[in-house]
Structure 1
Amino acid sequence: MGLCERCARLLNDFKSFVVVKTATFVQKVKDVLRRISECCCSKTAPLSQEKLYCELMRRHEPKRGPRLSRLNSAKKCVPTAFLEVCCSLLQSEDLEVQRSVSLSVLGLLTDGNIKEEHIIGTGVLDTLVDLLQSGDCTVQCNASSCIALLASSDSYRDAIVSSDAVLPLLVLARAFDPEVQQNAVRALYNLTKSESTMRVLCEEGVIPVLALLLLSSDSEVQFYSCSALSNIATDPQYHTKMLLIGDSFLLKSLVSLMGSSVLKNSTQACQCLRRLTWNGEAQQQLVGLDWVCPLMTLLRAPELSSTDVALMLLSQLSAQPQYKETLVNLGVIPMVGELILMHVSNSVVVTHCAVTLTHLWNIVDSQQVVVDSECLSGLLLALLFDWNEDETLLRVLSCLNSLASFDSLRSRLVEKMAASHIGRLMDISSERESSDLSFVAGSVISKLDMNDELLKPHHRVIVGYLMRFLRNQEVRFQQLGIASVCNLKKCGGLQGSVYTLELEKELKRVQQQTDNTRQLLQMLQQDT
């Protein structure tokens, strides 16, 4: 159906109006750029007006209008006056002008052509926050992208929160436009990187919004919302708010996301769970949820960083009695053994594997599983590795010490040990700089049923560290020294050694010291 003459005239008038406005805007840009190019500050690398204008419009997408790019490759930032013009144009009633200039500002921010203090001093930040509430998706998209970019810098986060941007961002985080939603959630995530701004977000109700977004069909929205929740979970004061969302909603959503095919999302969900399960209430809420299967899938991830995160959660939860049987029944122990062998030079993997095994030794049914797995071989290989961190070696030794407490495991361990392993334990036991390493290594040796032939090359070293243990002022070392001598005599170790006389003398000294202490205690009891 054709338009009447009156409507056709109105439409033509409107078309002419748009053409004039656009031409005026373009001419204004050209005029500003011409004046900048004529200034002495731009003479170091002059560009013609045409080239300068073309460069500014180069990145321009047809659907979004012109975009201002770098003014000059030699210029580090645009002048304040130019930003003031941009700020005025952002407040224009012309929607196309808002779209174009907001995209231009985004380009300048992306390229790093705006000084931090200028974006606030010229009022651009406040104007961008106002544009978050625009009725136009393109303007919202550009403005929210600018805010997200600014929020990635420590310098801007407090200013963004002070500009009342939080509530508009929370609204846009549930927008229908996927790009607007992504930008808003990315901005919220960046704001959780600072303690002060994170506190404001939590006060404004960001936690339930982010929890709901974990169910989004958009993987980017899932990632940023989960990453933001993970940042919040680093502070235990917010755990109660996070866990009070009805019917364990947050934990169920995180467990579901941990099974995502998008690796970065499953990894981030695992990280968030790890931080949340520092809380006892979270550990209880996790009972009955199927978190072990997705966790085991993540342990096999192609990216080692994802495996590390999964192992951290596993070692943490394996300490809880309510999870141990499930972990063993679903085959965690053999997988841990494989991981040690596969990544024996990686301190994070070895440390958390050793911690997990230490937690699971006391499950009676698991002992045969350990014997049949690669755990013992992996631990002995890790024992020989030259670690830079004492913590990793201490975890390996503690695991072996715990293992040696069980008869079935101890005999299998001795079968697998070679002279190199004994020598390594002797060296660590004789270590004077780290008393903890020395103590645990000595404790392992004291529990092993080793024949005289295996110990014979190390008689002098053994007597040396046992003498040091017996002379140590710490009771735990004295007791370990005595227990070690008893065990070595029982299994035939040190038999016929010329050094045992020294050891016998030191044992008598300790006995006399103990008798004196006992007498003093008896006298004290009589006086009281």
Structure 2
Amino acid sequence: MGLCDRCARLLDDFKSLVKAKAAIFVQKLKDVVNRISECCCSKKALASQEKLHELLRRHDVKSRPSHLTTAQSRVPAAFLETCCTLLQSEDMEVQRTVSLSMLNLLTDSKIKEEHVIEMGVLEPLVDLLQSGDRTVQCNSSACIALLASSDSNREAIVSSDAVLPLLVLARAFDPKVQQNAVRALHNLTKSEKAMCVLCEEGVIPVLALLLQSADSDVQFYSCSALSNIAAAPKHHSKLLQIGDRFLLKSLVSLMGSSVLKNSTQACGCLRSLIGNGEAQRQLVGLDWVYPLLTLLKAPELSSSEAAVMLLSELSAHPLNKESLVNQGVVPILGELLLMYLPNSTLVTHCAITLTHLWDIVASQETVLETECLTGLLLALGFDWNENDNVLSILACLHSLASFDSLRSRLIEKMTASHVGRLVSISSESENSDLSFAAGSVISKLDMNDKLLKPHHRAIVGYLMRFLRNQEVRFQQLAIASVYNLKKGGGLDGMTCGLELERELNRVQQQTEHTRQLLQMLQQDTCT
């Protein structure tokens, strides 16, 4: 430690005073610190005697100290050793004082969490979790919650027999004790190893029950912890085996909470679970549509994002589609597209959801909302950084254009600039998937020459490239595109029509030659 023998003896004497009354204890601590500070060795052991003295002066109260916080940037090892001893005192007043001191040191980042573990302070803190005093329980559980915020400490905490006492305190009647215990459990679930220990010790049913707590902070921490656990599919069976669909019912209920951070967190937890077939089965019959659509319209963008990400997963399942459309999800998605463009997450998942729902919209023969078409076409015209965003929009437009009743509405809203954007993407040579997706949209649209005239040469150019492509899918797409363009009168004025006809004849001859070769092979096989 760097202290001389004289000062070391003084610290030992100080430790022996643990059972003294609080007022005497503080006075003795002052005396010890003052006497140590007079020795030259203290300059090496203590970074600043004046700051430690200020610590004691600030909390010099008549009855008992309420804090032992420090303004030091680094607490000496001798101080932590002393605190470790004091935490094991049988005097309740000392336990309260020193546990609060540790809490303040950690809260103010005046001590490193790893240093606390290294100096052996964790063990007495864990013991204090089982104290009969609520103040001591509150302070010690808060300390462990802060220690668990450091990834390197979590394994040490779960190895110190802290889990069961924390689970007990998570169901405590004192709201502050309960909050601190659940916050500690939440921080521990951020580590895979610690999470596995927690699940083995039975944390899941405790957290599920706390989703129905009257305390919004307890709800948030328990739901966040469950979200961390749900992110690992290997824990899904334990999450879903609680009887009577209890977890999913609680999450759906919490998704309707007026506390936005809680409803958003519940939405995220459900999304982590929804890839599991059992979770999908358990959701059937639960009233999740209304709270989810309400969350879509939340004032916070993060909440709308969480909701639309969950929605894009749920809308893929046939049993959910009709209910979503009937309860008005399509116009809400249109409003979101117009409101948050160009937010890539929201636009992409809106497009995915609409792609899943077009068959229901078309079958109901209702008028397609203008906001949806306008939003999709605006998204098409935006210069996205990620190809996945463009692909999701193109897939949505292609699916929409596959239905006669919807395609006519789309063409009504399109302009020459939209056609130009599709042609430009279809001419993309570096990404064949993008090129094919854009060409697929064009192939569905029987557009007139008014829309196509500004892009005649570019259209013929991409059609020629498709026909010359070695992949059959591109050749077939080009042929389908020519058919639809002719049908809508869009090829009538093209100056390069003859060149295109020659290329179509070449593909036809090539196809005929292939057919003849296959026929010869078949005959030879038969003989």
Q: Which residue of 2 aligns with 1:521?
A: 518
Q: Which residue of 2 aligns with 1:358?
A: 355
Q: Which residue of 2 aligns with 1:26?
A: 26
Query: Kindly tell me: are residues 150 and 294 of structure 1, through their superposed partners in 2, closer, same or farther at Cα, counting changes over 3 Å?
Result: same
User: Structure 2 CA distance, aligned partners of 1:305 and 1:474?
Assistant: 42
User: Structure 2 CA distance, aligned partners of 1:334 and 1:67?
Assistant: 57
Q: Which residue of 1 aligns with 2:488?
A: 491
- For 1:261-300, list aligned pairs within 5 A: 261-300=258-297
**Is 1:65–1:99's contact at 8 Å kept on the other side of the alignment?**
no
**Is 1:367–1:408's contact at 8 Å kept on the other side of the alignment?**
no
**Cα deviations by residue, 1:112-170 (Å, 9 ceiling, x for unpaired):** 22234421222101111111111111111111000001111111101101111111111
Query: Does 1:139 pair with 2:136?
Result: yes
Query: Does 1:316 pair with 2:313?
Result: yes
User: Structure 2 CA distance, aligned partners of 1:229 and 1:472?
Assistant: 51
User: Structure 2 CA distance, aligned partners of 1:19 and 1:167?
Assistant: 29
**Is 2:74–2:110's contact at 8 Å kept on the other side of the alignment?**
yes
Give 1:33 shift: 3.3
Q: Which residue of 1 aligns with 2:505?
A: 508
Give 1:368 shift: 4.3
User: Structure 2 CA distance, aligned partners of 1:477 and 1:102?
Assistant: 72
Give 1:319 shift: 0.8
Q: Which residue of 1 aligns with 2:175?
A: 178
**Cα deviations by residue, 1:451-500 (Å, 9 ceiling, x for unpaired):** 12321221110111111111222222111111111222222222242312
Give 1:20 shift: 5.6
Q: Which residue of 1 aligns with 2:12?
A: none
Query: Does 1:89 pair with 2:86?
Result: yes
Query: Kindly tell me: are residues 98 and 504 of structure 1, through their superposed partners in 2, closer, same or farther at Cα, counting changes over 3 Å?
Result: same
- For 1:141-180, list aligned pairs within 5 A: 141-180=138-177
Query: Kindly tell me: are residues 63 and 105 of structure 1, through their superposed partners in 2, closer, same or farther at Cα, counting changes over 3 Å?
Result: farther
Give 1:278 shift: 1.1
Q: Which residue of 1 aligns with 2:209?
A: 212
Question: What is the number of equivalent residue pairs in this alignment?
Answer: 506
Q: Which residue of 1 aligns with 2:220?
A: 223
Give 1:63 shift: 11
Give 1:236 shift: 1.1
**Is 2:362–2:403's contact at 8 Å kept on the other side of the alignment?**
no
Which range moved further: 505-514 or 160-169?
Answer: 505-514
Q: Which residue of 1 aligns with 2:420?
A: 423
**Is 1:34–1:49's contact at 8 Å kept on the other side of the alignment?**
no
Query: Kindly tell me: are residues 378 and 251 of structure 1, through their superposed partners in 2, closer, same or farther at Cα, counting changes over 3 Å?
Result: same
**Cα deviations by residue, 1:483-518 (Å, 9 ceiling, x for unpaired):** 111222222222242312222222223223323333
Give 1:395 shift: 1.1
SS of match in other structure, 1:78:
coil
Q: Which residue of 1 aligns with 2:7?
A: none
Query: Kindly tell me: are residues 289 and 311 of structure 1, through their superposed partners in 2, closer, same or farther at Cα, counting changes over 3 Å?
Result: same
User: Structure 1 CA distance, aligned partners of 2:494 and 2:180?
Assistant: 75
User: Structure 2 CA distance, aligned partners of 1:65 and 1:424?
Assistant: 72
SS of match in other structure, 1:361:
helix
Query: Does 1:390 pair with 2:387?
Result: yes
Amino acid across the alignment from 1:51:
E
SS of match in other structure, 1:149:
helix
**Is 1:148–1:186's contact at 8 Å kept on the other side of the alignment?**
yes
SS of match in other structure, 1:248:
helix
Query: Does 1:69 pair with 2:79?
Result: no
Give 1:43 shift: 8.5
Query: Does 1:54 pair with 2:51?
Result: no
Give 1:424 shift: 1.0
Residue 461 of structure 2, aligned match among 461, 464, 476: 464
Give 1:54 shift: 2.1
Query: Kindly tell me: are residues 155 and 478 of structure 1, through their superposed partners in 2, closer, same or farther at Cα, counting changes over 3 Å?
Result: same
User: Structure 1 CA distance, aligned partners of 2:52 and 2:234?
Assistant: 58
User: Structure 1 CA distance, aligned partners of 2:445 and 2:33?
Assistant: 83
Give 1:44 shift: 7.3
User: Structure 2 CA distance, aligned partners of 1:99 and 1:468?
Assistant: 79
Q: Which runs of 5+ in 2 are unaligned?
A: 1-16
SS of match in other structure, 2:199:
helix
- Length-normalised TM-score, structure 2: 0.91
Amino acid across the alignment from 2:244:
D
User: Structure 1 CA distance, aligned partners of 2:509 and 2:348?
Assistant: 42
**Cα deviations by residue, 1:69-124 (Å, 9 ceiling, x for unpaired):** 2243xxx3101111000000000011100110000011111122223442122210
Query: Kindly tell me: are residues 330 and 117 of structure 1, through their superposed partners in 2, closer, same or farther at Cα, counting changes over 3 Å?
Result: closer
User: Structure 1 CA distance, aligned partners of 2:86 and 2:409?
Assistant: 78
- Length-normalised TM-score, structure 1: 0.91
Amino acid across the alignment from 1:21:
K
Query: Does 1:203 pair with 2:206?
Result: no
Which range moved further: 136-145 or 116-125?
Answer: 116-125
What is the RMSD of the two structures over their aligned residues, measured on CA atoms? Answer: 2.3
User: Structure 2 CA distance, aligned partners of 1:175 and 1:450?
Assistant: 69
Query: Kindly tell me: are residues 50 and 157 of structure 1, through their superposed partners in 2, closer, same or farther at Cα, counting changes over 3 Å?
Result: closer
Give 1:407 shift: 1.1
Give 1:369 shift: 4.1
Query: Kindly tell me: are residues 117 and 478 of structure 1, through their superposed partners in 2, closer, same or farther at Cα, counting changes over 3 Å?
Result: same
Which range moved further: 391-400 or 142-151?
Answer: 391-400
User: Structure 2 CA distance, aligned partners of 1:326 and 1:101?
Assistant: 58
Give 1:372 shift: 3.4
Residue 242 of structure 1, aligned match among 215, 235, 239: 239
Query: Kindly tell me: are residues 69 and 524 of structure 1, through their superposed partners in 2, closer, same or farther at Cα, counting changes over 3 Å?
Result: farther
Amino acid across the alignment from 2:251:
L
